[in-house]
Amino acid sequence: MGQEKEIVVSGIRSTGILHLGNYFGAIRNYIRMQEEFNCYFFVADWHSLTTHPDPKELRGNVFRVLAENIACGLDPEKVTLYVQSDIPEIAELYLMLNMMAYKGELEKVPTFKDKVRQNPDNVNAGLLTYPVLMTADILVHRGLNVPVGKDQEQHLEMSRNFAQRFNNRYGYLFPEPVPFNYGDDLIKIMSLDGIGKMSKSENQNSTLFLNDGDDAIRNKLKKAKTDSGPQEPNSAKPDYIENLFTLMRLVSTPDTVKHFEDAFNGCSIRYGDMKKQLGEDMVAFIAPIREKAEALRQDSAYLNRIMRYGAEKARASAAQTLQEARKLMGINFY
Ligand code: TYM
């Protein structure tokens, strides 16, 4: 009692419809964390600017991400839910931290190297300093726990470095943020074709979106990559099969999972049956989220209210941090 709750910060880019990777890597934890922590969750619209989205689409996507988060069970009364660009203090802290982030280390970040390979004509400074902006997002509330999927692990390592550098140079202000998951390991949901992670932009037919219709869900799962099954009892599972089991553990009953685990270990598994069962359980999981998000998206007055309310709460916290940061850096003249 009386103990302040630990601070949690996490964001999702406004680049399209949310998918199961976002849900199980991040949002599922948000929903549990809102009961025990002081949570700041936001739509990372500035981060999505690296790819120069159409302004009209960007706007729609911000509302969509908000609606989908609430539809998944996030309660704007329990958490501070806001849009990144409503908090100018984040941009100010980003500028300060940029002075402590070195070109060499930023160029080595694997996600940056991937983007350079994929889009050699658009290697902009925002892309290079992407982990610095992420750090500003977290440190602006002095966040400690950051619920994210496995793909964000290296970004958080950078965040710890930047926090430490600031503290060493100017005096202690920031905790060193750590990735958080209720299970042991951070989650990575693979694409259903077995190639890479499930993502908003790649392999749309192998990604389960939170707005997919029932038949689309069944069809995508039907086409998920499998093979002719294990040849020996208790074999190791190939990663694309493990991924189907991961999904099943997330949406099916323990009895169902056990049934197929036993069948796999006994070499009698029929992947067609497994995918059919998973399809039905997935429909039961996604359909209510889809319907709720759709209804929320129609109510832009409500979403606007939520955004303003969240922005006010987030700015109050951010302003305090910036006041401290400016003081420590000697940028306080009045
Ligand atoms: P973004 O928008 O790509 O993804 C949002 C969240 O979903 C997780 N995720 C996954 N988890 C498991 N398996 C997958 N296939 C999968 N795909 C996505 C991500 O790990 C993430 O948690 N840079 C961040 C957004 C961000 C942020 C922050 C996060 C901006 N500032 C500060 C935390 C703290 C991003 O692009 O996530």
Q: Tell me the CA–centroid distance for residue 263 and ligand 1, in Å.
A: 34
Answer yes or no: is pLDDT of 1 > 50: no
Answer yes or no: is pLDDT of 2 > 70: no
Q: Which CATH class is domain 7-186+300-329?
A: alpha beta
**pLDDT tens by residue, 275-313:** 999 999 999 999 999 999 999 999 999 999 999 999 999
Please work out whether the CB of residue 177 comes within 6 Å of at least one atom of ligand 1. Answer: no
CA distance 123 to 126: 8
Pick the CATH number of 204-293 from 3.40.50.720, 3.30.9.100, 1.10.1040.10, 1.10.240.10: 1.10.240.10
- Domain spans of the chain, in order of start: 7-186+300-329, 204-293
Please give the full DSSP string across 210-254, using - where no structure is assigned: TT--HHHHHHHHHTS---S--SSTTPPPPHHHHHHHHHHHHHS-H
**pLDDT tens by residue, 190-210:** 999 999 999 887 788 999 999
Token couple for 185:
């390991």
Give Cα 220 to chain centroid, integer Å. Answer: 22
pTM of the model as a whole = 0.96
Q: Edge-to-edge, what's the strand order for the sheet holding 7-13?
A: 80-83, 38-44, 7-13, 145-147, 178-180
Which residue among 103, 108, 150, 200 is the active-site one?
200
Please work out whether the CB of residue 152 comes within 6 Å of at least one atom of ligand 1. Answer: yes
**pLDDT tens by residue, 42-54:** 999 999 999 999 9
Known catalytic residue at 5: no
**pLDDT tens by residue, 218-262:** 999 999 999 999 999 999 999 999 999 999 999 999 999 999 999
Which whole number is the average pLDDT over 100-110?
97
Known catalytic residue at 103: no
Angle among Cα 293, 296, 300 to the nearest 5 degrees reads 140
Give the position, in ligand 1's atom list, of the atom nearest the Cα of 133: 31
Please work out whether the CB of residue 247 comes within 6 Å of at least one atom of ligand 1. Answer: no
Token couple for 152:
């964000």
CA distance 327 to 321: 10
Least confident of 14-18, 70-74, 163-167: 14-18
Token couple for 1:
């009692």
3-state secondary structure of 15: coil
Looking at residue 184, its pLDDT comes to 77
Answer yes or no: is pLDDT of 3 > 70: no
Looking at residue 138, its pLDDT comes to 99
